[in-house]
C-alpha cells in the first residue's frame, strides 16, 4: 500500500481575465438581458489578456 501525504492547501490563482464566463452567466441562468454585451466584453477581455502575454 502506497501512502501519500496530503497536498498543501493552495488558493486558486487570480484570474488574469477581467471578464470571465461567470460574469456572462450572472447568476448561473445566462439571462438574455444584456447577454450580447456580456459576451462581447468577455471576448474583448480574452483577447486583451492573450495580447498582454499574461
Residue 19: other Cβ atoms inside 10 A: 19
Q: pLDDT confidence of 42, banded at 50, 70, 90?
A: very high
The phi, psi pair for 24, rounded to 5°, reads -70, -40
> Alpha carbon of 54 to those of 22, 34, 39, 45: distances in Å?
20, 28, 21, 12
For 8-35, what is each residue's pLDDT tens digit? 776 655 667 889 999 999 999 999 999 9
Structural contact between residues 14 and 35, judged by C-beta atoms closer than 8 angstroms: no
Cell of 50: 492573450
Amino acid at each position: 500500500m502506497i501512502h501519500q501525504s496530503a497536498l498543501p492547501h493552495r488558493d486558486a490563482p487570480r484570474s488574469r481575465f477581467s471578464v470571465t464566463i461567470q460574469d456572462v452567466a450572472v447568476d448561473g441562468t445566462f439571462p438574455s438581458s444584456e447577454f450580447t454585451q456580456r459576451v462581447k466584453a468577455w471576448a474583448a477581455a480574452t483577447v486583451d489578456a492573450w495580447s498582454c502575454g499574461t
